[in-house]
Amino acid sequence: MRCEQLIEDFLDAGWLNNQWSQNTIKTYKNELSSFRKWISSSRGKKLPNVTFEDITDFLEIKATGRVCTHNLRISVLRHFYRHLFQQCKIGRNPCIGLKSVIRQQDLPSVLSESQVQILLDMPDVGTQAGLRNKAILELLYATGIRVSELTLLELSNLFLPNRYLIVRAHTSKSNCDRIVPFGAIAAFWLTRYLEEVRPSQSRIQHALRVAVNLVFLGRSTAGGLSNRTCYEIVAFHARRASITQRVSPHTLRHSFATHLLNGGASLIVIQKLLGHKSAQTTQIYTHRAIARLHQVHARHHPRGELFANQALKKGRHYQLHHPNQPPDN
């Protein structure tokens, strides 16, 4: 069987059995195609004939990017060769013993509430493009949905009068439907976009016989808004807002979760809203919330960091191991 067909069969199985999203399928296909080309050109081998050493050499050559990208390649190869082994298309799994790189989990990049407010005020709602961008930014922050979930959102899954949307399983990493509410402000700008901007775009596409049921349409006549365009929209308005850190749609997702947690929402609720399979994935937001609590404690508590720093400047030494003994006067 041709190597290309092995890859296609693997992707079909992932879609049928695991309900992989289109983004996952695209990523897996790109990584496996890259590996197939390398193993063919550098080793003269086909995919079923590779060894553990071939795979580690490939990973070493490609290990110039981020750790998460490196671990993604490892995960793709593990899944692929486990599938081939289970289908009896290879006699031995060459990925046995292949380990991911352990890295310290980074805290998610978030914006403050004031930064988000400035960002949301940036689009020029007097123009069609600005009104569309305003609706996109408001919905991303109001719901915390992923960029792919936004660009694949269909009109039939948007319930404006009741202010909620449904993220369907085939557009989500969690592989299950979930209901996500949003507030009156996001509903207002979505309504304006749907009434004032989308009809003109829809008429053009209808004239070209392009049937698109997506909420957000692209400026071209090819169909819906692309993920890349959505990234560019967020980054453009972040620059206009003079936000120095890198801002993406996922930054708004992280900000959504962090601000909910700071406001008193439980981790279970946030987990459901974000569509996380595991509560451990949502736990990362507690680290930033705890850091924020430490800052507040340090500034306002009489025995906080500010008090300690002032005392140390005066030469006072606290006997931390003997808390019952007062500091020297």
Catalytic residue among 173, 240, 272, 292: 173
Catalytic residue among 45, 250, 272, 292: 250
Catalytic residue among 28, 254, 285, 288: 285
Active site residue 250: yes
Q: Convert the pLDDT of each residue in 188-203 to its tens digit.
A: 999 999 999 988 876 6
The pLDDT, as a whole number, for residue 300 is: 65
Residue 326 reports pLDDT greater than 50: no
Active site residue 164: no
Domain annotation for the chain: domains and CATH numbers: 3-86 (1.10.150), 113-263 (1.10.443.10)
**Structure token digits, residue 58:** 């490939």
**pLDDT tier for residue 18 given thresholds of 50, 70 and 90:** confident
The pLDDT, as a whole number, for residue 116 is: 97
Q: Convert the pLDDT of each residue in 79-96 to its tens digit.
A: 999 999 999 999 999 999
Q: What's the pTM value of the predicted model, to 2 decimals?
A: 0.65
Active site residue 26: no
Active site residue 163: no
Three-state secondary structure of 275-312: CCCCHHHHHHHHHHHHHHHHHHHHHHCCCCHHHHHHHH
Active site residue 173: yes
Catalytic residue among 253, 254, 259, 288: 253
Rounded to an integer, the average pLDDT of 154-180 is 89
Catalytic residue among 146, 198, 259, 288: 146
User: Which residue is associated with the tokens 């700008």?
Assistant: 189
Q: Dihedrals φ, ψ of 219, to 5°?
A: -70, -25
